[in-house]
Chain A
């Protein structure tokens, strides 16, 4: 059938199974929006800022595992999308962003609302396209989805000039067929490498499992659980990997890295085999490279060869999809002979338990000032650990990571790689749309929330009962903490005490506004918000100069932690 480019965009999305897109209209995408208006099968969520649309699509993708889709206009619409793309790129989130572009004959002429968005986003997308011919449009969109969700996932941008959306061509639904001769990710583990890996696994006396976002992205939690059971080894998750292994399981020793637990970091520092699974040895995790896991052989499973031996030399690399590779490995370690020849883990576990008994996350909740940790623990308790938790960036993010216990994957939505303040609320909207029946909570700070607070209007428009908890310390707390520790308390430009009345602000948007200033007001406020079924903000005044502990100073070795 003959369709216009604009109609092809919508039809291709539908044929690819897309039901929801997030976006913001403008001149260059008017024809596309006209088709959105006519097409009832596609839900469009109108955000209040393009950055919000991108983060919402991102949150939707993280929680659902589907490709998140955003549509924005050319020029400023496209440049507003850049932070959202970069955020998704750093965390390997599958997304497709469609941008409008000025008509082909005007490209390069400094036309009205022209931006070279393909040039601008080359280094923060997995791939991007400028579609100059309507005949390529459907194929390019299909390729974009294929690239976004396969291999190491990532955002893909498709820039569509306005005149391409009016041109007409033949459209045939070919959603299943995507062949890109230069793109074929390797998914199955090399048999020889698996064999070598199994030998290492068999002989390790102090094995340590370190897993990351790749396990979540690969939907490999079951395989990971089975593997960990067979190995009976301690396991730690990166910030991005939380939830992939149940926090309530005794083998879990918490997050590792800069704000990880003492036991996780000590176990990494003392293990003789580090089993890295879908994790990329980020500098927040490794600390001083030369002293990272100094006694260990390293086994690394990752679908992206560039992640392997990038920062830390790997002894046995296995390039492949976590799920498939773990299936391959699990088959071999289930065998009786493997289990029989494995060293006794008791001495290793004794060491780990000793480190754990230090209780590095301990804090005391007094009578007067509210401790942030207490708020998160209460939230976890009141939601039975079942909420989807999105965060902004800062101390509140770390406290959320340390004190909310996730037993399932895809319930934890945080910007780890880019560390984008302003991510939380819009990402939570996307999550709520993906999971309408689940409780979705944003943990934010008084700084971060002001970066995309306009999205409250979106929540109200679409009746999204997202609850935002502001851990209000009157500071850009994380930066202040660094200034306290490393800049002799010179609090340069981190005082945020001049702030709106968040309760009234919530009410102005039509949301529920609540406040807690004393420890005993925390629980009632959270309960009220949970019971209300409304979009809500809870402004919780916490101790202004509370710090995140433990902490490995940047560049220090993991076993060199600042404990409370």
Chain B
């Protein structure tokens, strides 16, 4: 099963390689990983997506907690949460297809962030399903390049990760 795991860490040198190194050293699967400083800049928040059986995910969470600079770990899968990912897609846009591309962009409430006579770059935000669906429609039109941020998530309502 797919799990979104948030890891609050001390924002110090090498912390990202401790986390990613854990996954490679222990053979844990990692689908995506994002990281950026949050709050006062003393902590960073890593969001990672992993797919695995329950006991593997349990080990992952325990192993993450065991890393010294890790302050808190949360698995969002069981509780209500919002998740988002951002994708930039560059589509070859010859004259005949330009209107179609814009229509698709519109359906997915995405924005054109760059345009040239021969291409559009589109920014799409949403959960994985939405991004995949959008991509499926754009693909046949000639996607030349794309990038995705990987998912981020927050618990719904008052839930928040303890801050150490």
The A-B contact count (CB < 8 A) is 37
State the Cβ distance, A174 to closest chain B Cβ, in Å: 19
State the Cβ distance, B28 to closest chain A Cβ, in Å: 12
Task: Given A305-B62, A306-B59, A306-B66, decide whether A182 and B14 contact each other with a Cβ distance below 8 A.
Answer: no
A147 touches B (CB below 8 Å): yes
Are the C-beta atoms of B68 and A127 separated by less than 8 Å? yes
A309 touches B (CB below 8 Å): yes
Are the C-beta atoms of B10 and A182 separated by less than 8 Å? yes
Question: How many residues of chain A have a CB within 8 Å of chain B?
Answer: 18
Question: How many residues of chain B have a CB within 8 Å of chain A?
Answer: 21
Majority secondary structure of chain B interface residues (helix, strand, loop or mixed) = helix
Q: How far is the CA of A182 from the CA of B42 in the complex (A)?
A: 12
A122 touches B (CB below 8 Å): yes
Partner of B71, one of A118, A147, A181, A309: A181
A123 touches B (CB below 8 Å): yes
Q: Mark A216-242, 1 if CB is under 8 A from B, else 0.
A: 000000000000000000000000000
State the Cβ distance, B46 to closest chain A Cβ, in Å: 13
Partner of B55, one of A119, A123, A182, A309: A309
Task: Given A119-B17, A122-B18, decide whether A309 and B58 contact each other with a Cβ distance below 8 A.
Answer: yes
Are the C-beta atoms of A182 and B17 separated by less than 8 Å? no
State the Cβ distance, B40 to closest chain A Cβ, in Å: 13
State the Cβ distance, A495 to closest chain B Cβ, in Å: 35
Q: How far is the CA of A123 from the CA of B10 in the complex (A)?
A: 19
Q: How far is the CA of A5 from the CA of B122 in the complex (A)?
A: 54
Partner of A304, one of B55, B66, B68: B66
By beta carbon, the residue of chain B nearest A308 is B62
Partner of A183, one of B9, B55, B68: B68
Partner of B13, one of A122, A130, A306: A130
Q: How far is the CA of A126 from the CA of B164 in the complex (A)?
A: 20
Q: Mark A173-205, 1 if CB is under 8 A from B, else 0.
A: 000000011110000000000000000000000
Binding site for B on A (CB under 8 A): 118-119, 122-123, 126-127, 130, 147, 180-183, 304-306, 309-310, 313
Can you list 19 A-B contacts with CB-CB less than 8 angstroms, sorted by A residue number? A118-B14, A119-B17, A122-B17, A122-B21, A123-B22, A126-B68, A127-B68, A130-B13, A147-B68, A181-B71, A181-B164, A182-B9, A182-B69, A182-B70, A182-B71, A306-B59, A306-B63, A306-B66, A313-B55
> When A and B form their complex, which 7 residue pairs have the shortest distance between CB atoms, in order from nearest?
A306-B62, A181-B164, A127-B68, A182-B71, A123-B25, A305-B62, A183-B68
Binding site for A on B (CB under 8 A): 9-10, 13-14, 17-18, 21-22, 25, 55, 58-59, 62-63, 65-66, 68-71, 164
Additional A-B contacts beyond A126-B68, A182-B10, A182-B71 (17; CB < 8 A): A122-B14, A122-B18, A122-B21, A123-B22, A147-B68, A182-B9, A182-B68, A182-B70, A182-B164, A183-B68, A304-B66, A305-B62, A306-B62, A306-B66, A309-B55, A309-B58, A310-B59
